[in-house]
Amino acid sequence: MAPKTFSKLAGAKRKAAANAKHGSDLRAKKAKTSTGKQRVTFDNDDVKSDSDSGDDADSVDGGAEVETKSAKFEPKGKKSNGDATTGTQTSREAHAKQKQLAAERKAAKPLADEVQRTKKLWEKLRRKSHVPKEERQQLVDELYSIITGKVKDFVLKHDAVRAVQTAIKYSTPAQRKQIAKELQGTYAQLAESRYAKFLIGKLLVQNDDEIRDIIVPEFYGKVRKLINHSEASWILDDIYRGVATKDQKARLLREWYGPEFALFMVDRNVEATADLNKILAEEPSKRATALKYCFDMVNGLIQKKLTGFTMLHDAMLQYFLNLKPGSDELKEFTETIKEDEGGDLLKNMAFTKSGARLACLLLAHGNAKDRKQIIKTFKDTLQLMSGDPNGHMIILAAYDLIDDTVLTSKTIFPELIGKGDGNEAGNLVFLANDLNARTTILYLFEGRSKSLFPASHANDLAILDEIHEIRKTTSKKEPEIRRKELVTAISSQLLSVVAASPNDLVSTSFGCQFAAEVFLSTVGDKSAALAAIASTAGGDPSASTEEEIYPPPLPHISLTPHGGKMFKTLIAGGRFDKATGELKRVDPPLNFADILYPIIEEHVVQWATGPSSFTVLALLEAPDFVSKDKLIKVLKENKKVLKKAATEETAVQKEKKTEVDAAEKEGGAKKRKSKSKDKEDKPKPKGNMGTKLVLEKLGV
């Protein structure tokens, strides 16, 4: 507790302060001077003097008067501008002055006026739909008049480079070449710029060979530096992947094998090779240094999480192909790929040609544990991979290499077909109609058939040959046993989805082919799915709606060639074996004829005389068709209709004839496939061929 004396003093001070606050206005204010406290004299504007009294107002305390200057107080944080008449500067005036200074600094920069004008031109040109063609051409001409000869100065300014890009967008080929030549020697620098790198893409997107040959060589010898640059790496890889020629790609990729390949380039007149195996065959002494250099570059990018480059995947494949199976180098490389956090490396590899092949080879050379880890890395990516030109090969490799078919079926099939989320029908239509995705299902049924692997998929067969040779020493299970186990695992899922959405599936040619293969190859109860497919044949084939509906309804399945072919295959219940010349029926038999006939019975004559007449012929030829006699009776009763259809031109034949006549009238008849004049002059058959065969089968 404070002493009483101290409390009294404190109270006295507080009272004194209160009295001073409300004291007389005549009390003089005090200001500090160089000699201490002095009296302050106020100007007439501040305090009115009492002129009537004639007496000088002395200080209350009776002190002597001292002459001092008038004290001027300024707000904290604000400085006087030196103008005695205006006093302090307001915030608005200060802000205006700052803007003025900024404008003066900008105007003092080189090409300030030109940059400002190009920005205004760009503002107009970028709104393409709001600028008439004539006005746009005038703006482009003005823009070119400004930037010509100064392009290098403009492209390194973030606000001016957009105007140059717009100029290239509306330029003529000659103007583009002029800009490309003017920028010669700076493309590596431009690639490192956040904004100027897009200018390189604008120049290359026009597919001009001369411009390409100006730009690409400027990246020679700088691959290691640029591929590790946050901005330049992407434009370098884009050039490598989509623009560079085969020779240019080889020269860029060779730099991954050592500094000597960057310093001592192959003669321009000699075609370079990036095949590391060939390079090491010519210079075996460089094997260790080339492999180490390549691995260091690859590992550096993996650690930086820059794993999406096509060039990286090409270099990784070349490195892997030159490792000895079972060597420590191969094991270390495999572990480096597997240990990538998040699996981004493997997922990115799946979508490039070299990356997908490397992933297949890793599965082929790996043990059971490696294969399990690799295939699980692709979780939630498999459906996207199935439709990719390269990614689908990894799924096929997993079918052929992983002995644990339970792991394969649980990992892959739910993602491809669906996980019970209601998207099964859409997924199945995609799997049936996509050229790449369909292989991920039908490969288990058809194998390496030509219909599944046309000439465009020749690379797929080459990879399959490669991994099949390797699996002889790395896989234990017999290929046929593995295939049958996978077919058994996928059958129930496929049949249930087909039964749930038959109309979507049979609406396309590939869908009908897919459905036929499913029924001929799967195992289990197919009755519900067969009934669902048969239900798509219901209704009157000749029925038409007068009302306009958008989108227009699909034609009846009997009017489509793929629909009739599917029904014919299912009625036959097997595949035709070219080796034996006989039909091999599936076991147990489908008995599809008995399922289909009750649905089309009412309109069977229209089927027999329409595009799907071969379906009726298949019913007559089916050995297990119960209602065959009934069908024969109906057809014989309508033999006049059948004969008319067999002799008169069909709608398709009439359409083709009209096209030929129109071409002949114009004097440019279409060339015929047959070179023989006898065959050319031979008249084409008229009428429905299927109906003719039905009549022959009936004996009428």
Q: What are phi and psi of 633, to 5 degrees?
A: -60, -45
Integer Cα distance of 400 and 486 in angstroms: 10
Lowest mean pLDDT across 88-97, 482-491, 584-593, 620-629: 88-97
Query: Which residue would you say has higher pLDDT here, 119 or 449?
Result: 449
Integer Cα distance of 378 and 398 in angstroms: 11
Predicted confidence at residue 49, as pLDDT, reads 41
CB of 512 closer than 8 Å to CB of 532: no
Query: Which residue would you say has higher pLDDT here, 328 or 125?
Result: 328
Three-state SS for 536?
coil
Q: What secondary structure letter does DSSP report for 576?
A: E
The predicted-structure confidence for 238-271, as pLDDT tens digits, reads as follows 999 999 999 999 999 999 999 887 767 667 777 8
CB of 533 closer than 8 Å to CB of 597: no
The pLDDT of 613-622, averaged and rounded, is 93
| 667 pLDDT tier (thresholds 50, 70, 90) | low
The predicted-structure confidence for 268-281, as pLDDT tens digits, reads as follows 777 888 999 999 99
The predicted-structure confidence for 294-306, as pLDDT tens digits, reads as follows 999 999 999 999 9
Query: What value does the mean pLDDT of the chain take?
Result: 82
The predicted-structure confidence for 530-553, as pLDDT tens digits, reads as follows 999 999 999 888 876 556 666 677
Predicted confidence at residue 65, as pLDDT, reads 45
The pLDDT of 139-164, averaged and rounded, is 81
Integer Cα distance of 134 and 403 in angstroms: 69
Query: Which residue would you say has higher pLDDT here, 660 or 567?
Result: 567
Strand segments, DSSP code E, in 520-679 are 574-577, 582-585
For the four alpha carbons of 378, 383, 384 and 387, in that order, the dihedral sign comes to positive
Predicted confidence at residue 352, as pLDDT, reads 96
C-alpha distances in Å from residue 270, one per residue of 246, 247, 248, 279:
12, 9, 12, 14
DSSP-assigned beta bridge partners for residue 584: 575
Highest mean pLDDT among 159-168, 189-198, 466-475, 644-653: 466-475
C-alpha distances in Å from residue 302, one per residue of 154, 255, 345, 362:
36, 18, 7, 17
Highest mean pLDDT among 35-39, 140-144, 568-572: 568-572
HEC sequence for 615-653: HHHHHHHCCCCCCHHHHHHHHHHCHHHHHHHHHCCCHHH
Three-state SS for 488?
helix
Which residues lie below 8 Å from residue 17, measured CB to CB, with a gap of 6+? Answer: none
pLDDT at 46 over 50: no
The predicted-structure confidence for 1-14, as pLDDT tens digits, reads as follows 444 443 443 444 44
Predicted confidence at residue 62, as pLDDT, reads 42
DSSP-assigned beta bridge partners for residue 583: 576
Lowest mean pLDDT across 145-159, 341-355, 444-458: 145-159
Residue percentage of the chain with pLDDT more than 70 = 80
pLDDT at 393 over 70: yes
Query: Which residue would you say has higher pLDDT here, 662 or 247?
Result: 247
CB of 136 closer than 8 Å to CB of 170: yes
Integer Cα distance of 332 and 291 in angstroms: 13
Structure tokens at 592: 């599809």
pTM (2 d.p.): 0.79
The pLDDT of 377-401, averaged and rounded, is 96
